């Protein structure tokens, strides 16, 4: 079974600074997908960024980028120029087509952005 671990229950960053959230996972599969979801107090799960395991290039979406290290099974999220609206719970998640596309989530990291 696949597992996802987020070792930072809480993180904080100053507005306009950069922060990195960590995620590691365990799998025996070679083809899979990794995601970062954001959950603000409204509880809506918002897809921030995704990475296909077969792609060597790290995904980027505006101020959000990932550092995907397949051999180390590491998938960190970097948020640049942090904004107050980035404050939320961030979940790392894994799925694959062979596992029925079911998402496995990490425990989450609560991000606080200080003005």
Partner 1 sequence: SAVISQKPSRDICQRGTSLTIQCQVDSQVTMMFWYRQQPGQSLTLIATANQGSEATYESGFVIDKFPISRPNLTFSTLTVSNMSPEDSSIYLCSAGLAAYEQYFGPGTRLTVT
Residues 37 to 56 in contact with partner 1, rule: CB under 8 A: 37, 42-47, 50, 52
H-helix or E-strand spanning residue 105: strand 104-105
Segment contacting partner 1 by CB under 8 A, of 10-18, 22-30, 35-43, 75-83: 35-43
Cα 81 from Cα 89, distance rounded (Å): 18
Please say which residue, 53 or 74, places its beta carbon nearer to partner 1: 53
3-state secondary structure 57-68: CCCEECCEEEEE
Hey, which residues does 22 pair with through a beta bridge?
A: none
Q: What angle do CA 29, 102, 61 make, to 5 degrees?
A: 85
Please say which residue, 80 or 99, places its beta carbon nearer to partner 1: 99
Token couple for 105: 């989530």
Q: Using CB under 8 A, which of 36, 68, 90, 91 touches partner 1?
A: 91
Please say which residue, 11 or 45, places its beta carbon nearer to partner 1: 45
Size of the site for partner 1 (CB under 8 A): 23
Interface with partner 1 by CB under 8 A: which residues? 33, 37, 42-47, 50, 52, 91, 95-97, 100-108
């Amino acid at each position: 079974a696949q597992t996802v671990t987020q070792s930072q229950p809480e993180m904080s960053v100053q507005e306009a600074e950069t922060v990195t959230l960590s995620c590691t996972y365990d799998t025996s599969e070679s083809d899979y997908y990794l995601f970062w979801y954001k959950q603000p107090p409204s509880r809506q799960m918002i897809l921030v960024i995704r990475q296909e395991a077969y792609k060597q290039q790290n995904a980027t979406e505006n101020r959000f980028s990932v550092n995907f290290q397949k051999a180390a099974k590491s998938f960190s999220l970097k948020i640049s120029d942090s904004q107050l609206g980035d404050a939320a719970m961030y979940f790392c998640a894994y799925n694959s087509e062979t596992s029925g596309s079911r998402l496995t989530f990490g425990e989450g990291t609560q991000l606080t952005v200080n003005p």
